[in-house]
Amino acid sequence: MPELSPDWPGLRAYIDGQRAGSDPLPLALLHLHLRRHRSLRARLGEDVLRALSERVLQRVWRVLRTQDRVLVLSDSDLLIALPEMLSAGHARLAAQALQRALLEPVQFDELILRVQPEIGLALAPLHGADASALQRAAAAASEAARTAAGGIAEATGAPAPLLYADLARDLRANALTVEFQPIVRLRDGRRIGFEALARWRHPRSGERVPPALFVVQAEEAGLVPELTRWSLQAALREFKPLHAADPSLHCALNLSARAFEDSALVEQIESALAIWGLPPAALLLEITETALLEEPQRNARQLSRLRALGVGVALDDFGQGYSSFGYLQFLELSLLKIDRRFLERLEGARERGLVQSMIQLAHRLQMQVVAEGVETPEVAGVLAQLGCDFAQGWHFGHPQPAAHWLAGG
């Protein structure tokens, strides 16, 4: 269950704390305004308004995750902090889930009330580098949501820092690099593949730009086609010697949610495999819940074409989304990756039972399971006992260039 922040300084400290560190995931701040909410006080009285506000909060709780935070600004306004967003689409999915929950009528005896949510969305670091800047951007977006289609508006304005031109230039110059993290089979510790991870050092500062930042900026700047082409070519080029040394290995590669919008995606993948002389079974594409659920019919067609080609498809960061798990039975997926957050308290019976249920669900749907973020032998042992098939994380190896693993790393 999410926590209620007591005041703005408390929420601000939480947001800035989430943004600290060397490689934080994007964080979204939603400003939720209930239109004409205050006018209900004059018509229906303070008691009804208070009861309605409590119902609104209950519905918000049902949608949010444990790590999310809520600040009640007034009886008609909430601030909601959503850390660990996988993309801008992930944040939009959360806003849409909140809106759906709040648009359902609220009944008090024979009285039926409807609220009109307007949601402004700001994403760090795109729309603000700190909590205060993010709050201003979310408030402005909430005003814009009043006239926006669907009642949801995203903040506008220049991100900080602006990396669009530098990223476009370095993609054309093939200046990004790839590192590989091993994926192992838990029952015997055998290495069965690698996840390819893009790395980028800024050309002027020399500092490594977090993937969470440059992928989101690629989405905002319309650079996803270029990033997808570069990722496919670079990952398969670097992976080819690893596959030659052990043909049983596969290469797992993340795709942006926006990549599925490209009708030529499957042909592009087929061409890249042919260029580097790799069989389709050597490639496993990792796609988040957000990517799959934004346009489910289109994405289901893309999945069918990929599976027909012989490429594996994994659902990445399972459990991070704001949707039910019922959609899994309708998608052609070969593998499910459990988000690392579910491994943080595996010593608890409840958490262990939840992970075991995920594994059993995947197996019933003919999917194998990878656990991400495994950092200790104890966690690896528990996962093996629960029936998890594969795992990756620092316990099995940090991301390294392909040459490291070819040399016996």
CA distances from 120 to 33, 206, 408 (A): 8, 35, 51
Type of residue at 98:
L
Q: Are 119 and 142 in contact (CB under 8 A)?
A: yes
Query: Is 261 among the catalytic positions?
Result: no
* Helix-strand-coil split of the chain, %, nearest 5: 45, 20, 30
Residue 175 structure tokens? 């200046």
- Strands 77-82, 250-254: pairing is unpaired
Residue of 238, 344, 372, 378 with catalytic role: 372
Q: Are 383 and 374 in contact (CB under 8 A)?
A: yes
User: Which residues, 6 or more positions from 334, have their beta carbon under 8 angstroms from its beta carbon?
Assistant: 284, 307, 312, 313, 314, 367, 368
State the Cα angle at 189 between 187 and 195, rounded to 5°: 110
Type of residue at 129:
A
Q: What pairs with residue 124 in β-bridges?
A: 27
- Alpha-carbon span 259 to 223, nearest angstrom: 10
Q: Are 405 and 242 in contact (CB under 8 A)?
A: yes
Q: Are 279 and 310 in contact (CB under 8 A)?
A: yes
Residue 408 structure tokens? 């016996």
Answer positive or negative: Cα dihedral of 75, 81, 82, 87: positive
Compute how many other C-beta atoms are within 10 angstroms of the C-beta atom of residue 340. 19
Answer positive or negative: Cα dihedral of 142, 161, 87, 215: positive
Phi, psi at 28, each rounded to 5° = -105, 145
3-class secondary structure, 66: coil
Q: Catalytic residue numbers?
A: 372
